[in-house]
Amino acid sequence: MKDLAGLSFDILTLRESYKSGAARPVEVIWEAYKRIAAMANNPVWIHLVPEEQALGAAQELGPPANSPLFGIPFAVKDNLDVAGLTTTAGCPAFSHVAIETAPVVQRLLAAGAILIGKTNLDQFATGLVGTRSPYGACTNVFDERYIAGGSSSGSAVAVSAGLVSFALGTDTAGSGRVPAAFANIIGLKPTRGALSSRGVVPACRSLDCVSIFSLTADDAETVFAISMNYDNRDPYSRRFRDPAQIPAQFRIGIPGSQILDLVENEYRAMFAQAAARFASLGHSLIQVDVQPFLSTAELLYNGPWVAERFASVGKFIKEHPQDVHPVVRDIILGGEKFSASAVFEGQYRLEELRKQTDAVWDIVDVLLLPTTPDIYRLAQVEQEPVSLNSRLGTFTNFTNLLDLAAIAVPAGFRANGLPFGITILGSAYSDLGLLALSRSYLSSLRPPLGATKVS
């Protein structure tokens, strides 16, 4: 086998390597498993496809012209079903062998992508820290003393470390964006229902989104285009509407200083630099009131939407309390206390806040925010597992409640070598505009791809 240690796994590079003959899919898959073995101490994987099976899939690929993801290695979070593989949702006692592959995964396989395995997560996708897993806490790929973020921790680490080209996660409260920020990669949280969520172990079924982790905005768009499909067997699936026009110059909403005071000092300075870069690219910066968004965020875990998590797995947890992570157990069982009237009161409050956020969308095309206010060490999260997790959701928890699309984008590095990330948000079906704006920004910034040192 060729030595491909220096080969970037971004989709464009692999396509060019296959076309030129510099690499073959079998060699890339072999290299993927070599890299995985070198990172064996980081619990990225819950289930790895046997290497011989993945190599066999690479050998059996059809013509590249018929396979837009020809020979591209990928991973899926272990709350998505793949026929014949165990789905655990991060809980061994809950595990079951899937009979049917989730449609979003099947579309990628049909496009020629090679599944490498299923990744670690905060149990039942309940957490933004990546530490609530009986399979071990994924550590940050830049500094093992720090969290990887969650709940899609393994998916983000796998992409950032160059183990796979892209990975699927899920995002209810920020699980597709927080880990992306901590891994220096793209985290696309599509419009709700654009990707089928059939075959996903639900967290909040009415809000859950399948998300995409990738090294580049181009890769995210490629995977999004292939995996997007209306699913008439998914009651929350929606037909995607292309935007009438993507503006050449965006009106970008940014928060005022009072909101940015919630952010760690170095993050705050880096956010100002990111905003200035957008302005230098010809976009307009407009200060807006983001408090209604943050008030909406509080509803997700302090309001009746926790009852939806209880509706998903509460019965199992009550029957198997000893098999569930104590923090996850307490959060989800807390959903049982909400009455039917409380659910309606929560809906009424959400609509009041939605009206307030509508005023923002009248004057801007997108909203720019730090992805998180800070990052924490594993030891800190162990001491304060709930409060620090909650703080990480400050700028993410409102997104699905308000039916927004979002993309987490790398935005530089702190002095200690840890990455900083921004998130660009837009109304439903703004996904392609968000990708275009991200692509322009990243072309100017030219950050390294994940932790691979390739730019």
| Catalytic residue, candidates 8, 17, 133, 151 | 151
* pLDDT exceeds cutoff 90 at 453: no
27 and 68 in a common domain: yes
- Residue 72 structural domain: 11-227
**Predicted local distance difference test score (pLDDT) of residue 229:** 95
Tens digits of residue pLDDT in 22-59: 999 999 999 999 999 999 999 999 999 999 999 999 99
User: Does the active-site annotation cover 280?
Assistant: no
385 and 348 in a common domain: yes
| Res. 245 pLDDT band, cuts 50 70 90 | confident
272 and 214 in a common domain: no
| 419, part of any domain | no
| 423, part of any domain | no
**Predicted local distance difference test score (pLDDT) of residue 62:** 82
User: Does the active-site annotation cover 227?
Assistant: no
| 83, part of any domain | yes
Structure tokens at 337: 């206390």
303 and 352 in a common domain: yes
**Mean pLDDT, to the nearest integer, of 255-274?**
96
Average confidence score pLDDT of the chain = 97
**Mean pLDDT, to the nearest integer, of 308-331?**
98
- Tell me the pairing of strands 419-427 and 366-370: antiparallel
Burial class of residue 343, CB neighbours in 10 A (0-12, 13-18, 19+)? middle
**Mean pLDDT, to the nearest integer, of 369-396?**
98
| 109, part of any domain | yes
* pLDDT exceeds cutoff 90 at 189: yes
140 and 20 in a common domain: yes
Tens digits of residue pLDDT in 2-13: 889 999 999 999
108 and 145 in a common domain: yes
255 and 223 in a common domain: no
CA 370 to CA 409: how far, in whole Å? Answer: 10
| 373, part of any domain | yes
263 and 367 in a common domain: yes
Helix (H) or strand (E) holding 405: strand 404-413
**Mean pLDDT, to the nearest integer, of 427-444?**
97
Partnered with residue 424 across adjacent β-strands are: 368, 407
| 365, part of any domain | yes
| 338, part of any domain | yes
| Catalytic residue, candidates 175, 211, 237, 427 | 175
| Res. 63 pLDDT band, cuts 50 70 90 | confident
126 and 69 in a common domain: yes
Q: Are 178 and 150 in contact (CB under 8 A)?
A: yes
**Predicted local distance difference test score (pLDDT) of residue 454:** 83
Domain with residue 381: its CATH number is: 1.20.58.1700
Residue 363: CA count within 13 A, CB half-sphere: 13
CA 35 to CA 288: how far, in whole Å? Answer: 45
In the DSSP assignment, the letter for residue 271 is H
SS (H, E, C) 1-66: CCCCCCCCCCHHHHHHHHHHCCCCHHHHHHHHHHHHHHCCCCCCEEEECCHHHHHHHHHCCCCHHH
CA 213 to CA 150: how far, in whole Å? Answer: 13
* pLDDT exceeds cutoff 90 at 337: yes
User: Does the active-site annotation cover 17?
Assistant: no
Phi, psi of 116 (to 5 degrees): -95, -35
Q: In total, how many domains does the chain have?
A: 2
* pLDDT exceeds cutoff 80 at 65: no
Q: Are 398 and 293 in contact (CB under 8 A)?
A: yes
271 and 211 in a common domain: no
173 and 43 in a common domain: yes
Structure tokens at 300: 């997700």
Domain with residue 77: its CATH number is: 3.90.1300.10
* pLDDT exceeds cutoff 90 at 377: yes
| 394, part of any domain | yes
387 and 289 in a common domain: yes
- Last residue of some domain: 166, 193, 227? 227
* pLDDT exceeds cutoff 80 at 244: no
| Catalytic residue, candidates 8, 17, 77, 214 | 77
* pLDDT exceeds cutoff 90 at 387: yes
